[in-house]
């Protein structure tokens, strides 16, 4: 049976490191600040924003939670972003995705000050990742996946990593991150997706599989070779009348079947999820240091 990769435990290690950095910054008269903008009443988005705000407060960060109605216009949201860009007390800005239909999400991302784009989606930060410029911000979920692999002692350099999914949130940035000529990288990366042919053959050649394809239990035992490392990014709701809420959360990996073959695997929940928020906090501290040039 596979070793369980405990994302909560690794996240706590990250927070312990960040508390020391935050104390150092505060000792120099600077409190890192994060602004999270929520447009509308999507329950999942609201829950994410609450958890981010709570972690900010737990760490002693300056937290701005801006909740706007679902009827907010593109112009109004751009005005709020511009105000946050100018706010010296805010070092990181995150506009919760997805926004309502009338909002052009790409335009909002491009309007962010790249130096405060702690989600790592601004074209300037994507370019920095492609060029290996460490002053840029890497999207939080890929960064969390990499940290999990490092903390588990997985030899990434020289490994064949297969990433299932090609989104700008996980798949593409993770591929660029793990192929960097850098510590915690130097992997050979293959990106596959729903249109890829001979998928099981490709994934069985992987030393490390990262599933971020957005389909419950997509990765089955046939996709995994014995001894592989499996990182499950997926979070999917499936109906379960026995559960208190009538549903349960599962990943993109058929956990029970794959865990019998893998050497190590992340659970859902409790794997990648906690790391995403931890790396958001890490990016915010990084932004604070870089914006406060003397620190």
Is the distance from CB of 234 to CB of 209 less than 8 angstroms? no
Report residue 4: phi and psi, to 5°. -85, 125
Q: Helices 140-151 and 7-27: crossing angle, nearest 10°? A: 110
- Rounded to an integer, what distance in angstroms lies between the CA atom of residue 112 and that of residue 254? 38
Tokens 């559960």 — which residue?
Answer: 243
Is the distance from CB of 10 to CB of 275 less than 8 angstroms? yes
**So which residues are the catalytic ones?**
52, 96, 119
Do the strands 236-239 and 247-250 form a parallel or antiparallel pair, or are they unpaired? antiparallel
Residue 99: half-sphere exposure toward Cβ, Cα within 13 Å: 24
């Amino acid at each position: 049976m596979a070793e369980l990769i405990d994302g909560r435990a690794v996240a706590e290690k990250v927070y312990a490191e960040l508390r020391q950095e935050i104390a150092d910054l505060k000792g120099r008269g600077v409190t890192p600040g994060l602004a999270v903008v929520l447009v509308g009443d999507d329950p999942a988005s609201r829950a994410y924003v609450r958890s981010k705000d709570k972690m900010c407060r737990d760490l002693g960060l300056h937290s701005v939670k801006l909740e706007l109605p679902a009827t907010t216009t593109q112009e109004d949201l751009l005005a709020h972003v511009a105000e946050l860009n100018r706010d010296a007390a805010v070092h990181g800005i995150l506009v919760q995705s997805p926004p309502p239909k009338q909002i052009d999400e790409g335009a909002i991302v491009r309007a962010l000050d790249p130096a405060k784009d702690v989600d790592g989606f601004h074209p300037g930060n994507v370019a920095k990742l492609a060029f290996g410029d460490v002053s840029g911000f890497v999207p939080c979920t890929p960064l969390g996946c990499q940290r999990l692999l490092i903390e588990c002692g997985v030899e990434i350099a020289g490994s064949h990593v297969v990433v299932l999914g090609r989104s700008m949130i996980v798949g593409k940035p993770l591929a660029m991150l793990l192929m960097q000529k850098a510590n915690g990288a130097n992997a050979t990366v293959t990106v596959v997706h729903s249109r890829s042919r001979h998928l099981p053959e490709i994934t069985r050649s992987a030393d490390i599989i990262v599933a971020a394809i957005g389909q419950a239990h997509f990765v089955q035992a046939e996709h995994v070779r014995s001894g592989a490392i499996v990182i499950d990014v997926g979070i999917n709701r499936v109906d379960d009348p026995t559960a208190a809420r009538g549903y349960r959360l599962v990943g993109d990996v058929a956990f029970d079947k794959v865990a019998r073959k893998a050497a190590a695997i992340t659970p859902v929940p409790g794997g990648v999820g906690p790391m995403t928020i931890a790396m958001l906090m890490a990016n915010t501290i990084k932004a604070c240091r870089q914006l406060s040039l003397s620190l």
